[in-house]
Structure 1
């Protein structure tokens, strides 16, 4: 059976008001939360075959941190339509 996982980006930063929404990075809280999200996925034996990711900075950062814990070999496709 196939499984669909939906993962929202971790907490983003609003510290720099000059940044466009698309370019907002993760806040320190988000940088800490993303590995926790990955640990939860791993504890449930959930490892995606394919990741569809928004090109927004916070989404890419979140996935990069999650991917570190899940290992190599996961295909990632950025889709502008997800922003």
Structure 2
């Protein structure tokens, strides 16, 4: 059976109010949390066949950190 996994971006930074929303990066907390989510996905035996990622900087960063954990 097919499963759908929705993963929200990790905690983003609001340090630079001049950035457009799409350009906001991950906060330090988000950079620590994203790999943990990747390890949890791996622990559960989930293996995505197809991934869609928002062009938002924080979403791209989150996915790179998650993907690094799940290989």
Q: Structure 2 length as normaliser, TM-score?
A: 0.98
1:24 counterpart residue number = 24
The gaps in structure 2 that reach 5 residues or longer are none
In structure 1, what is the equivalent of residue 2 of structure 2? Answer: 2
Equivalents in 1 of 2:57, 2:43: separation in Å?
27
Question: What secondary structure sits across from 1:6 in the alignment?
Answer: coil
CA distance in 2, matches of 1:43, 1:67: 13
- Find out whether 1:52 has 2:52 as its counterpart: yes
Partner of residue 80, structure 1: none
CA distance, structure 2, for counterparts of residue 4 and residue 22 of structure 1: 24
* CA RMSD, 1 decimal: 0.5
Count of residue pairs the alignment pairs up: 71
Instruction: Give the TM-score, by structure 1 length.
Output: 0.84
Higher strand share: 1
Larger relative contact order (Cα-Cα within 8 Å, sequence gap ≥ 6): 2
Q: Which residue of 2 aligns with 1:67?
A: 67
Which secondary structure state, in structure 2, belongs to the residue aligned with residue 11 of structure 1? Answer: coil
Task: Give the distance between the partners of 2:41 and 2:21, measured in 1 at CA.
Answer: 27
